[in-house]
Amino acid sequence: MKYRNLGNSGLKVSEIGLGTNNFGTNAKFPFHMRAAEAATIIDAALDVGINMIDTANVYGTGKSEEYVGKALRGKRDKAIIATKVRGPMRDGPHGEGLSRKSIFHEIEASLKRLQTDYVDLYQLHWVDKETSIEETLRALDDLVKQGKVRYIGCSNYEAWRLCETVWTSKSLNLTSIVSTQPAYSLLDRDIEAEVMPFCEEYNIGIIPYYPLANGLLTGKYKRNQPPPKGSRLEAKSDPYENANFDVIESLEGFAVNSGHTILELAFAWLLSKVTVSSVIAGATKVEQIQSNAAATDWVLTTSELSEISELLGDGVSE
C-alpha cells in the first residue's frame, strides 16, 4: 500500500480507504454488517496497509462508529479515523446541524463510541444553511486546540462553499480544512467542473466516495441481465436507470485488454488525479479488501489516460 499526504497537511493516508456506512445499519440486508463482521473487515484492511477508516455519526445512528471503536481496540495507532458531523442523531432543535452546541455534543458522543480521545479527521458531512460558517469553524478550531480533533475537512460542499470555508478560516486565523469528500468516479465527474480546480489551486485533498458508481464499475452488473442476488441494486425498481452500458462496456474492454479488471481501472483512474488523497470504498468480504488494495499497483501511463479520456468522450487527457 502506498500513502499520500491528505491535502496540504502532513497526515499520511492510504491510497485506498475503508468506508463503513454499511456497518450496523440494518442487519436484515446482506450488505449491512454486525460488529464481528465489521471487525473482520477492519482487520483485513489493516493487514494490507489500509489506515484510512471513514465513518460518520449518522451511519447506523452511531453503530458504525461503535463497531469501528470495538474493532480498533488495542490498534488505535494503526488507523486514521475520519468521522463526520451534521446529520440527525436525536430529537430536538439541536439534534442535528453544525452549530457550536451540536458540534460539541456530537464530538463527545463520537469519541465515546469510537473509544478514543481524538479523531484524526473531523468532517462537515453536509452544509448547514441555518448556521454561519464562522460559528462552525470557530467550534472546530476549539476542538483542534483541545486535542480532540487533529484535522478538519468537509463533504458534499460545492466549490463556492469550499472557497467560503477556506477564506473564512484564513481571514479569522482559524484552523482550515485540508480535505473534501465528494462523490467521484469514472461515471460521475461533476466535481471536475469547479470543485477539482479549486482543490488543485488550494491543495485541498479530495477523498472520493462511490468510486465504483454503486457497483456499476465492479463488472458484476451486465446489460439486459438482472442484478445479482444480494447486490445493492437488486432492491431498486429500475436498477440500471442511470447506467450507460456503452461506456461501461468500453471501459471494461479496455481494462481486460490491459490485463486488469474494470474495478482496478476505477481505482487506478481516480488515483491518477494529483488532488486525490485516498479513495473510499466499502467492503463486505475480505477478498474485496484485498482486491481493492491490489488495484493501487496499476499506475496508468499517459497513453492509457489518453485512451480512457477518449472512451469517456473527452478526447483530451488531463
Judged against a pLDDT cut of 50, whether residue 186 lies above it is answered with: yes
Cell of 20: 463503513
Between 49 and 32, name the one with better pLDDT.
49
Query: What residues contact 309, with CB distance under 8 A and at least 6 apart?
Result: 315, 316, 317, 318
pLDDT, mean of residues 301-309 = 98
Instruction: List the catalytic residue out of 59, 184, 202, 209.
Output: 59
Domain count, the chain: 1
Query: What residues contact 208, with CB distance under 8 A and at least 6 apart?
Result: 181, 182, 183, 184, 185, 270, 276, 279, 280
Cell of 87: 446529520
Using pLDDT thresholds of 50, 70 and 90, give the confidence band for residue 27.
Answer: low
Is residue 202 in a domain?
Answer: yes
pLDDT of residue 28: 53
CATH number at residue 74: 3.20.20.100
Known catalytic residue at 209: no
Is residue 149 in a domain?
Answer: yes
Cell of 200: 488543485
Q: What is the pLDDT of residues 192-243, one digit of tens each?
A: 999 999 999 999 999 999 999 989 999 999 998 988 887 778 778 788 887 8
Q: How many CA atoms lie within 13 A of 223 on its CB side?
A: 8
Is residue 184 in a domain?
Answer: yes
Is residue 279 in a domain?
Answer: yes
Is residue 53 in a domain?
Answer: yes
Judged against a pLDDT cut of 90, whether residue 61 lies above it is answered with: yes
User: What single string gives the DSSP state of each residue in 208-271?
Assistant: -B-TTTTTTTSS---TTSPPPTT-TTTTSSSTTTT--HHHHHHHHHHHHHTTS-HHHHHHHHHH
Question: Would you say the C-alpha torsion 144, 52, 127, 33 has a positive or negative sign?
Answer: negative
Phi, psi (deg, nearest 5) at residue 243: -90, 125
Is residue 47 in a domain?
Answer: yes
Instruction: List the domain range (segments joined by +) for residue 64.
Output: 3-212+263-298
Please state, for a pLDDT cut of 90, what percent of the chain lies above it: 89
* pTM greater than 0.85: yes
pLDDT of residue 316: 46
pLDDT, mean of residues 187-192 = 97
What's the CA gap between 250 and 188, in Å, rounded? 16
pLDDT of residue 135: 98
Q: What is the pLDDT of residues 111-134, one digit of tens each?
A: 999 999 999 999 999 999 999 999
- Indicate the length of the chain as a whole number: 318
What's the CA gap between 75 and 48, in Å, rounded? 14
- The owner of cell 489500509 is 50
pLDDT, mean of residues 275-292 = 97
pLDDT of residue 318: 42
Q: Three-class SS of residue 154?
A: strand
